Amino acid sequence: MELKNLSIRQLNNLFVEKKAKPSELYSDIFDTSASSESLLHAHLALFEEKNIEIAKNSDKRFENGESTGLLDGIPIAIKDNINIKGELTTCSSKMLSNYRSPYNATVIEKLDNENVLYTGKTNLDEFAMGSSTENSAFGLTKNPWNTDYVPGGSSGGSAASVSARSSIGALGSDTGGSIRQPAAFCGLVGFKPTYGTVSRYGLIAFASSLDQIGPITKNVDDARIIYNAISGHDALDATSIDNNQINIPFDKSAKIGVIKELMEDGISDESRNEVSKVLESLKNQGYQIKEVSLPLIKLSISIYYLIAPAECSANLARFDGVRYGLRVEGKTSYEMMQNTRAEGFGDEVKRRILLGTYALSAGYYDEYYGKALRARKKMIDEFSNIFNDVDYLISPTTPTAAFKAGEKTSNPLEMYMSDLCTIPANLAGLPAISIPTGLSKENLPLGVQLMSKPLTDLSLLNFSEVIEKEVDFDTFPKGLEK
């Protein structure tokens, strides 16, 4: 089997045993990128020359028995809203098309300590606002399983790069499902950690109380390895918390709750069937399963699309043409700011800024934003109560498999509904993971989502591995040759 199809642990074993070299792996990965990028457009930039030298340094460490761990020499793609010092960080927006970061994000500092190779920066929906990667100012990314379809979003470039094997793993950011949804669309594992366990310092903010960095990988163990490397308290992030993990059972004593509201109208039969298939397998193994109800989940889209745009309108106010990024001149400073934002922001970003500014306006703050915050608190309480009865919650990751490019661009509300199942975990700050389990009738991947209470990330990953072994899904796209 080719090196690019192996897991991180398998690759490390080969490096340690001197049966393969990181430079050989990178050569394999770069050749794949060179042949697939024109078709998929997963990366916005590839770091070829820099990586050749870094890979050779990894070769020397393994030759001398001095490797720094499992991630030494492993090529990982980075979503282009995460800062890497000296590299462009565009957020797939004209507004930042010329912005070169003067510092590293904390997750990059942590991965640097592991001697990771960065394949490059991946495409995304502009400022991470979207569910299809069609909102990028630099062109859409295509799904490696079928290029007529979207890879999901906003981390669609990261997911497509892992799926196509132009990276071994990738970092994405998840505000309302932007790691899990594209992972599900591309037949991969997507993991959103507990809010605060991975530093957001150096992640260009969309909605600060919801954003979370996490991995997209071919399997659960790879996600665990990357999560362990990037997690931990960071004094540079005011929302960072100590990653004091809580252990909950993941053996047959674990209790699994099926979320009633995410198995009803709005969810396709195919997505429901994947959950039923997994539940049948768990039941046969002796796991305890019960249906649970979380009524406020039905309001999660409404809550999210008041809170997230409100936070985005505040965060994006900094892009005014004065300090950094695009500047379009005008006769006055006000006109310059107006011209810059008109040209620099795309339609979806403008839509969300307008929604957020309206929700935060003096006459409507309590009526909209204030009510959304109170509803969010009640939703968090609902989850807290449910986790007194069950250890894990299961649902579809997405209402349907991937949709065709252009199918939902004229209907924003229909596009927003793509995140119906994933948004609740962000609102409640829960760890959540998508695991690929099967294919639709169009041979497109479908995934199942698992959630657990805060700070049970490692237990969630362990339980996810149980399901992964049972379904034994081949993550390599059927549309690409091995």
Q: Is 253 a catalytic residue?
A: no
CA 88 to chain centre: 20
Q: 192, 453 in Cβ contact below 8 A?
A: no
Q: Is the pLDDT of residue 481 over 60?
A: no
d(CA 468, CA 281): 11
Q: Is 154 a catalytic residue?
A: yes
Task: Give the tens place of pLDDT for each residue, 99-132.
Answer: 999 999 999 999 999 999 999 999 999 999 999 9
d(CA 433, CA 450): 5
Give the DSSP per-residue string, 198-252.
B--TTBPPSSTTT--EEEEESSHHHHHHHHHHHBS--TT-TT-----------ST
Average the pLDDT over 463-477 and give the result. 95
Q: How confident is the model at residue 1 (pLDDT cuts 50, 70, 90)?
A: low
Task: Determine the CATH number of domain 1-482.
Answer: 3.90.1300.10
Q: Is 79 a catalytic residue?
A: yes
3-state secondary structure of 364: coil
Average the pLDDT over 262-289 and give the result. 96
d(CA 288, CA 293): 16
| Of 87, 109, 88, the residue nearest 97 (C-alpha) | 88
Task: Give the tens place of pLDDT for each residue, 199-257.
Answer: 999 999 999 999 999 999 999 999 999 999 999 999 999 999 999 999 999 999 999 99
Phi first, then psi: give them for residue 474, nearest 5 degrees. -85, 110
Query: By percentage, how much of the chain surpasses pLDDT 90?
Result: 95
d(CA 59, CA 255): 46
What is the 3-class SS of 369-420, one letter each residue? HHHHHHHHHHHHHHHHHHCCCCCEEEEECCCCCCCECCCCCCCHHHHHHHHC
Catalytic residue among 79, 94, 192, 218: 79
Q: For 193, which DSSP code?
A: P
What residue spans of 114-178 are helical by DSSP H? 156-163
Average the pLDDT over 354-371 and give the result. 92
Beta bridge partners of 392: 256
Q: How confident is the model at residue 479 (pLDDT cuts 50, 70, 90)?
A: low
Q: Render the burial of 51-81: b for 16+ CB within 10 Å, e for the rest.
A: beebbeebbebbeeeebeebbbbbbbbbbbb
Task: Give the tens place of pLDDT for each residue, 202-216.
Answer: 999 999 999 999 999
| Of 464, 401, 398, the residue nearest 222 (C-alpha) | 464
| Of 169, 181, 184, 95, the residue nearest 136 (C-alpha) | 95
Q: 5, 28 in Cβ contact below 8 A?
A: no
Q: Is the pLDDT of residue 482 over 70?
A: no
Catalytic residue among 67, 101, 132, 154: 154
pLDDT on residue 429: 98
CA-CA-CA-CA dihedral for 46, 48, 54, 59, to nearest 10: 120
Q: 434, 381 in Cβ contact below 8 A?
A: no
Q: Is the pLDDT of residue 77 over 70?
A: yes
Catalytic residue among 155, 166, 178, 434: 178
Min mean pLDDT across 17-21, 216-220, 366-370 is at 366-370
pTM: 0.97
In order of 48, 119, 187, 273, 360, the CA distances from 139 in angstroms are 22, 19, 22, 34, 32
Average the pLDDT over 68-97 and give the result. 98
pLDDT on residue 44: 98
d(CA 231, CA 455): 11
